[in-house]
Structure 1
Amino acid sequence: MTAPTTTAGTKLGTRDYIFIGVYAALYFVLIAIAAAVVQPLPFGMPFMGFACGILGGIPYMLTLAKSRRFGAITILGILLALLMGVIHGNVYTIVTAVVAAIAADLIAKVGGYRRMTLNVLSAGVFNLWNLGLFLPFYIGRNDYLASMIAKKGETATMQMAGLFPGWMLPVLVALGIVGGLIGAWIARSVMRRHFERAGLV
């Protein structure tokens, strides 16, 4: 199936919404797998964003290839924000998902959704949605840890808190971006012919 031939910048149509829905579902499944693999590891939590970026690369890049219009990635981010809001009840994740999605959409739009370099960069920015999962360790940390202690106990809470010292925040940002870039690069390599037929360079 070839990508839509209409130019980017026009309004999203029914076909675009179908593509967004399909690839959003695939994205959710893949990041759930990434989380399930990484979270049980003793020091895995800080690498969750990295893993999500790698596995989420293909559905993200397919969304760009199939709907080269502004708004597709933003909607993907909004859907992600709603899902994470329900699962985690974390307002920071909702905010970071929406902001990262809009920023990624704008980056890809600069290249008309056809410049592969900008599309890959947008994937790295989009993957910063996961930063909000960890912001409670840095914003209102004491209150957050107190609520965790009530739910999980002091030992488990302190072990998890130890994974997120102050210096880890920029590392989380870097891991999120790098994971998104690697995922997009893998998608480009695996589906190179598909992207070439779609006119992405």
Structure 2
Amino acid sequence: MVQENALNSRDLITVGLFTAIIVVITMIVMVIGFIPVLLPLYCVFIPLLSGIPFMLFLSRVRKFGMIMLMSILLALFLLLTGMGWYTFPLVLITGGLSELIVRAGHYRSLTLDIAAYAVFSIWCFGSYIPLIFMADRFWEENAVYGSEYIETAKGLFQLWMAPTLIFMCVFFGWVGGMIGGRMLKKHFIRAGIV
């Protein structure tokens, strides 16, 4: 007997589709990483630009587990792009918290959806974990970037940057969620998409 709250194929397709959109946005933003001083801007542009698709995704979320699955898929994406497994423990926390926040609003609260997206956006910090906490090993394995790039990145990604980057993820996630929520209300509902 299938539980009513169990994820079905339609839910999985929804997760896959919106995860793919966020991955494409992330890949476009990652291009700025060719200039090391712009690397922290991942925490600005990924949450901002992903706000609309994520809020549209949340308009289709009615079951616990969909946000967590998206979080895990994004961590897998970072693993495949060479950022290591370090994002997985992070997304288990942020994805779980986002799930609880959305569920607290009974999947109908725009304010809590925005808050959930702000927390969810911390997944972006995962790409910085090896740069901050294991820089020597990471850059030894990625020496192809060149000594000038590596020295600039090492100078930038000090331990004190971690809370700053997390704050940026949350702040710009909140802003991106607000923009997405506003677009959702004004245009998507009017167009009958939601």
Provide the TM-score with structure 1 as the length reference.
0.83
Counting only pairs closer than 5 Å after superposition, residues 72-111 of structure 1 correspond to structure 2 as 72-111=66-105
Give the Cα separation in 1 of the matches to 2:174 and 2:190. 19
Q: Give the conservation status (yes or no) of the 8 Å contact 2:83–2:130.
A: no
Q: Which has the higher helix share?
A: 2
Q: Is the 8 A contact 1:97 1:130 kept in 2?
A: no
Task: Report the CA distance shift for 1:56/1:145 in structure 2 as closer, same or farther (over 3 A).
Answer: same
171-180 or 154-163, which deviates more: 154-163
Please tell me the residue identity of whatever aligns with 1:52.
I
Post-superposition Cα deviations, 1:97-124, rounded to whole Å, max 9, x if no partner, equal 3332222111111111211111101101
CA contact (8 A) 1:84 1:94 kept: no
Mean CA deviation greater in 89-98 or 185-194 = 89-98
Q: Secondary structure at the match of 2:37?
A: coil
C-alpha deviation, 1:126, in angstroms: 0.6
Q: Is there any run of 5+ residues in structure 2 with no aligned partner, and where?
A: none
**Letter matched to residue 24 of structure 2:** V
**Runs ≥4 in structure 1, deviation > 6 angstroms?**
none
Q: Distance in 2 between matches of 1:143 and 1:77?
A: 26
**Identity rate, percent:** 28
Q: Match for residue 59 of structure 2?
A: 65
Please state how far the C-alpha of 1:14 moved relative to its aligned partner: 2.5
Task: Provide the residue aligned with 1:6 in structure 2.
Answer: none
- Show the counterpart of 1:157: 150
Question: Following TM superposition, by how much is the alpha carbon of 1:185 offset from its aligned partner in structure 2, in angstroms?
Answer: 0.9
Give the residue type in structure 1 aligned to 2:176: G
Whether 1:121 aligns to 2:115 is yes
1:5 is aligned to none
Query: CA separation in 2, counterparts of 1:189 and 1:46?
Result: 26
Distance in 2 (CA, whole Å) between partners of 1:88 and 1:17 is 25
User: How far is 1:40 from its partner?
Assistant: 3.6
1:89 Cα deviation after fit: 4.3
Q: Does 1:180 align with 2:152?
A: no
* Number of residue-to-residue matches in the alignment: 189
157-166 vs 119-128, which deviates more? 157-166
Structure 1 spans left out of the alignment, 5+ residues? 1-8
